[in-house]
Chain A
Amino acid sequence: MTSTTRLDPLIEYLLRFGDTALVLGQQLGAWTGHAPILEEDLALTNVALDLVGEARAWLSHAGEREGLERDEDALAFSRGDREFHNVLLVERPNGNFADTLGRQFLFDAWHVLALEQLSASSDGRIAALARKVRKEAAYHARRSADWVVRLGDGTETSKARMQAALAALWPYVGELFEGDDVDAEMVARGIGFDPAALREPWSRGVGAVLAEATLVQPSEGWMQRGGKRGLHSEHLGYLLAEMQSVRRSVPGDLW
């Protein structure tokens, strides 16, 4: 199902955060039983659990504010890819361990800064959630930053893989800092923040970690965009098909 009518800006704004957390949580869940060591299996899936918990909170809030009787499950499992508003970075494939941890680090650094901004939201529920989730995001960021350093400043192979991961992911970081009319309205209403304001602290924080990891920061080039507006890469459709298959086979069923 494709939706061309624009949502209320607040609902779309909440879906952007909810969908971003949901898609990344689903991706990390696919590592269950496949991580290089048991401890990392536990860690990846614990991060997935935090992200899915965060997604539930944003989607519930979106559903309640929308008032169309779409709860968190309806929003997660009954929308098509054009109705998802996650940033493109989180739908990049899991790839190898470096691809996953590189993606995680670039995301975590942005996530912490974004939640810090939302902690000052005029919407009390958004502010409360952001303050809570930020503590979890900071813990994730410590871990993913450690892995970027360990792989970057590790063996020749691990360094090459992390460097290649960064190169492949870099075209997707631009969208994190690009504002549009939804962002502008959220800023005007005191609910949200200007994404461009995160670029400098993000670049500084990420740059320091990459330097310690002896990795080269990819140069700025063409940046992909569209996820926030519902225009996605080919990867999201497959991810949603798998995530939504049970619910779509037996709509409304409970167990």
Chain B
Amino acid sequence: MVTHPPLALARVWEWLAAVPDPEVPALSVVDLGIVRDVAWSSEDPTAALDVTITPTYTGCPATAVIGRDIVRALHEHGVREVRVHTQVAPPWTTDWLSPAAREKLRAYGIAPPAGMAHGDASAGGLDFLRRADRRPVACPRCGSADTARTSEFGSTPCKALYRCNACAEPFDYFKCH
């Protein structure tokens, strides 16, 4: 099979929606909002496919792996030349996680971001420092809101560690960012 323009980009997005994130495999790189844009470099049948991705965190070591996974998946679908570009603006935010993606996270055992990041610490200055973040994080297993944070950071930069006071299970929380 040969894949080239004018193949509908909707198909390409479907393929990318099947590429799992290497560190949170319950979600695809599209669910996470990492893939920002897909475009053919020209109308020519030999055109390259330009895929633009954005890193979740600046130092996230998964970014390079994600780029390679995307290239491999698209090659398997017959795309001859894939060029991966990285852009940092607008900065990645968990606000791009759809309700369906949040539900996938919860079902996988990771508490999804509580609410939206938009507006967090955006007023400027340092006043945000002593304003406690009181948004409750619900336990992904039993649903209780009686939970406590044990560390601001977990196994990856995008997660924090929590424990549930109701069912006593520790769990990962996907930080609102």
Which residue numbers of A lie inside 8 Å of B, CB to CB?
Answer: 39-40, 42-43, 46-47, 49-54, 56-57, 109, 112-113, 116, 124, 127-129, 131-133, 135-136, 138-139, 141-143, 145, 201-202, 204-206, 208-209, 212
A131 to B122, CA, bound (A): 10
A134 to B171, CA, bound (A): 27
For residue B119, CB closer than 8 A to chain A, the reply is: no
Q: Which of B53-94 contact A (CB under 8 A)?
A: 55, 57-61, 87-93
A116 touches which of B57, B124, B157, B177 (Cβ 8 Å): B124
Please indicate the chain B residues that have their CB under 8 angstroms from the CB of A43 in the complex: 151-153
B58 close to A53 (CB less than 8 A): yes
Of chain A, the residue at the smallest CB distance from B157 is A46
A42 close to B154 (CB less than 8 A): yes
Please indicate the chain B residues that have their CB under 8 angstroms from the CB of A47 in the complex: 153
**Minimum distance in angstroms from A226 CB to a CB of chain B:** 27
With A39-B161, A49-B59 known as contacts, the answer to whether A131 contacts B89 (CB < 8 A) is yes
**Minimum distance in angstroms from A179 CB to a CB of chain B:** 20
B128 close to A54 (CB less than 8 A): no
B130 touches which of A42, A50, A209 (Cβ 8 Å): A209
Q: SS class of chain B's interface: helix, strand, loop or mixed?
A: loop
B157 close to A50 (CB less than 8 A): yes
**Minimum distance in angstroms from A28 CB to a CB of chain B:** 12
Provide a sorted-by-A list of 13 A–B residue pairs whose CB atoms are within 8 angstroms: A39-B151, A42-B154, A47-B153, A52-B59, A53-B55, A54-B59, A113-B126, A131-B89, A135-B121, A142-B129, A143-B152, A201-B125, A208-B130
Residue from A43, A132, A138 having most chain B Cβ neighbours under 10 A: A132
Please indicate the chain A residues that have their CB under 8 angstroms from the CB of B161 in the complex: 39, 42
B151 close to A42 (CB less than 8 A): yes
Of all A-B residue pairs in the complex, the 3 with the closest CB atoms, nearest first, are: A53-B59, A205-B126, A39-B151
For residue B127, CB closer than 8 A to chain A, the reply is: yes
Q: Which of B25-67 contact A (CB under 8 A)?
A: 55, 57-61
B128 close to A50 (CB less than 8 A): no
Q: Which of B94-133 contact A (CB under 8 A)?
A: 117, 120-121, 124-130, 133
Of chain A, the residue at the smallest CB distance from B175 is A139
Please indicate the chain B residues that have their CB under 8 angstroms from the CB of A116 in the complex: 124-125
Please indicate the chain A residues that have their CB under 8 angstroms from the CB of B157 in the complex: 46, 49-50
For residue B150, CB closer than 8 A to chain A, the reply is: yes
Please indicate the chain A residues that have their CB under 8 angstroms from the CB of B130 in the complex: 145, 208-209, 212
Please indicate the chain B residues that have their CB under 8 angstroms from the CB of A128 in the complex: 87-89, 91
**Minimum distance in angstroms from B154 CB to a CB of chain A:** 7
With A49-B59, A52-B59 known as contacts, the answer to whether A138 contacts B121 (CB < 8 A) is yes
A128 to B55, CA, bound (A): 13
Of chain A, the residue at the smallest CB distance from B161 is A39
A56 to B61, CA, bound (A): 12
A136 to B117, CA, bound (A): 12
Residue from A129, A135, A136 having most chain B Cβ neighbours under 10 A: A135
Residue from B93, B126, B177 having most chain A Cβ neighbours under 10 A: B126
With A50-B57, A50-B58, A113-B125 known as contacts, the answer to whether A40 contacts B151 (CB < 8 A) is yes
A204 touches which of B89, B126, B151, B155 (Cβ 8 Å): B126
Please indicate the chain A residues that have their CB under 8 angstroms from the CB of B133 in the complex: 142
Of chain A, the residue at the smallest CB distance from B155 is A42
Of chain A, the residue at the smallest CB distance from B149 is A39
A197 to B160, CA, bound (A): 34
A141 touches which of B57, B87, B126, B153 (Cβ 8 Å): B126
Of chain A, the residue at the smallest CB distance from B91 is A132
**Minimum distance in angstroms from A47 CB to a CB of chain B:** 8
